[in-house]
Structure 1
């Protein structure tokens, strides 16, 4: 993958993904995929608390992006929420 990303930054970053395998069970409610624009301004628990009463994945993602903007996130904000129930 030599053509992925900014060549000048290759010594500082990698295109190798960090992968964790988890089994989804009844205790798992959702998966939040977010860019650093989201995670730099809120913790995992704050993100869950922010969307615990939202009914759809779309609404949850929009709420998280809005909250990151309200918290003055200074970088791009991307978010996908997958609800399991």
Structure 2
């Protein structure tokens, strides 16, 4: 892993519910024929850095929370009054 925790993670067989980290290990029962709507419980509800919630949470380290204003709505509608830096 890099200093900012980016990089590749090798998920071990012991970390998934069916014991096999194949290409579709996030699905339950862990194969590519399994339903994409039924996820491995460890990947879906787990706390490991490769789990479903951990990935987007990690991405928030590189974003800035921004509170929308009425000005933003005008810009989204391509209002002529929209100009950079005007709030």
| TM-score normalised per structure 2 | 0.22
Structure number with greater CO (CA < 8 Å, separation at least 6) is 1
More strand by share: 1
More helix by share: 1
